[in-house]
């Protein structure tokens, strides 16, 4: 067994969010995930797009086999795509009855023709999908596919970048449906954590709905999606990835790769901060092993080995080394906070650098409201069991440079691509 899999487990707290670091991380996840109102709206929009594609006179009339969510939407791990936290990306697959001989560019062009007049702010034909940009900041990536085997979940998607020659176009093996099922089976909700996180979500959304229209006020007793510790930690890792990528050109680590590693790293009974550390180490050490072998990271769909999650990232070894260092830095910092405590002001600054100022400010304020702790008191710091100690601990010095968290990262897709 590879050494990056041998990560010691520590027991979770009896009260999952009683530790301040776990509570802060939970608040960060809540503040960047798709709010309940927008989650329901995304599902309604999926249905509307499916109906529009199959309408009478559509280029795809009678050609649609199925339409389903993929990526983060399928595993309930969607987060905001920008540092301003007002844009969300949802991914769907439209399986088509594509005849043999039809080229990838013809399929994508037909999908664009079917959607170009859809009533949204903008419709953009991409390399592997067509993106619908809504006026409220939501984007839906619609990826066409063609079934390839006896199992309906095994398909090809179509790669045809505008401006490339037809020789550069290709069909890419894909099994998004099977991967989502694999992930969901490996990450069932744990009752104690689920109850604590659900209560925290209700508390946060009731507060935010008063001042933030994106949340959309919910009726009383609205059921919220119950997440596992693994999925909440995955959302935190994805947020870290987004902020880390702000000033870096080119592609960056795809969500589906991080989701795959999260599924492999899933383990019951862990505290949220421990699971974030575990996932960060899992990906970082997988990259370390690839580096030791002088190769690029290669992550495959556990349900279909020909479905490569890293076919477009990393683009080079330098790129993967930088991300591994950043993940180790994140894990090291969280471990130091858990073991030795940190001044509240230093903790705030450290978190802002890694998760963005707006989200962290909200989370810190929520913690203060619950605990009555004043951030201006620089003599206070947390212990690993949630208490306060004096005097203050030394500040964390990260292994990588500070991130420009006040700049919004460019929007991205589930596979690590960026929109222009």
How far is residue 148 from each of residues 54, 81, 129, 309, 330, measured CA to CA in Å? 22, 32, 18, 18, 41
- Checking DSSP bridges between strand 170-174 and strand 155-159, what pairing results, if any? antiparallel
Q: Which residues contact 399 (CB under 8 A, 6 or more apart)?
A: 325, 328, 329, 332
End-to-end CA distance of the chain: 41
Tell me which residue of 85, 75, 89, 73 sits closest to 27, measured CA to CA.
85
Q: Other C-beta atoms within 10 Å of 97: how many?
A: 11
How far is residue 404 from each of residues 24, 41, 133, 353, measured CA to CA in Å? 21, 32, 26, 7
- Alpha-carbon Rg of the chain, whole angstroms? 22
Residue 89 catalytic? Answer: yes
Active-site hit among 27, 76, 89, 353? 89
Residue 416 zone, left/alpha/beta (φ > 0; ψ -120 to 50; rest): left
Q: Other C-beta atoms within 10 Å of 142: how many?
A: 25
Q: Other C-beta atoms within 10 Å of 183: how many?
A: 26
Distance, CA of 36 to CA of 228 (rounded, Å): 17
**Structure-block tokens of residue 315:** 């683009």
**Structure-block tokens of residue 325:** 């260092």
- Contact by Cβ (8 Å): 244, 403: yes
φ, ψ at 131 (rounded to 5°): -105, 130
Residue 311 catalytic? Answer: no
Which residues pair with residue 125 across a beta bridge? 130
Active-site hit among 76, 141, 353, 417? 141
Distance, CA of 20 to CA of 387 (rounded, Å): 9
Active-site hit among 85, 91, 288, 353? 91
Distance, CA of 368 to CA of 347 (rounded, Å): 13
For residue 158, give the H/E element and its range: strand 155-159
The alpha carbon dihedral of 400, 401, 407, 411 has a sign of: negative
* Catalytic sites, residue numbers: 89, 91, 141
């Amino acid at each position: 067994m590879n050494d990056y899999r041998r990560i010691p487990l520590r027991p979770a707290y009896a009260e999952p969010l009683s530790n301040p670091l776990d509570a802060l991380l939970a608040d960060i996840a809540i503040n960047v995930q798709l709010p309940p109102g927008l989650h329901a709206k995304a599902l309604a929009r999926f249905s509307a797009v499916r109906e529009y594609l199959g309408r009478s006179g559509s280029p795809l009339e009678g050609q649609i086999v199925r339409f389903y969510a993929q990526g983060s939407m399928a595993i309930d791990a969607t987060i905001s795509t920008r540092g301003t936290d007002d844009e969300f990306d949802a991914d769907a697959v439209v399986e088509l009855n594509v005849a043999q001989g039809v080229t990838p560019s013809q399929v994508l062009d037909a999908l664009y023709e079917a959607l170009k007049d859809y009533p949204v702010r903008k419709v953009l034909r991409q390399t592997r999908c067509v993106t619908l940009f809504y006026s409220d900041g939501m984007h839906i990536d619609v990826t066409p596919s063609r079934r390839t085997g006896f199992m309906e979940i095994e398909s090809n998607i179509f790669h045809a970048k505008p401006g490339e020659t037809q020789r550069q176009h290709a069909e890419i093996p894909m099994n998004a449906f099977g991967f989502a099922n694999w992930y969901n089976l490996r990450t069932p909700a744990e009752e104690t954590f689920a109850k604590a996180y659900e209560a925290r979500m209700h508390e946060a959304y009731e507060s935010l709905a008063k001042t933030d229209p994106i949340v959309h006020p919910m009726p009383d007793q609205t059921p919220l999606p119950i997440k596992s510790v693994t999925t909440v930690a995955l959302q935190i890792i994805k947020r870290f990835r987004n902020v880390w990528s702000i000033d870096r050109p080119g592609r960056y680590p795809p969500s589906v790769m991080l989701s795959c590693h999260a599924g492999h790293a899933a383990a019951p009974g862990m505290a949220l901060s421990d699971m974030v550390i575990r996932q960060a180490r899992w990906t970082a050490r997988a990259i370390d092993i690839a580096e030791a072998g002088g190769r690029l990271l290669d992550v495959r769909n556990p349900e279909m080995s020909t479905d490569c999650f890293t076919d477009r990232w990393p683009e080079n070894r330098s790129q993967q080394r930088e991300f591994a260092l950043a993940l180790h830095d994140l894990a090291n910092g969280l471990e130091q906070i858990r073991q030795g405590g940190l001044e509240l002001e230093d903790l705030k600054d450290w978190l802002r650098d890694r998760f963005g100022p707006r989200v962290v400010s909200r989370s810190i304020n929520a913690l203060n409201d619950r605990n009555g702790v004043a951030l201006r008191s620089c003599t206070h710091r947390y212990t690993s069991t949630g208490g306060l100690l004096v005097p203050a601990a030394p500040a964390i010095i990260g292994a990588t440079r500070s991130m420009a968290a006040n700049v919004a990262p460019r929007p991205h897709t589930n596979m690590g691509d960026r929109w222009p």
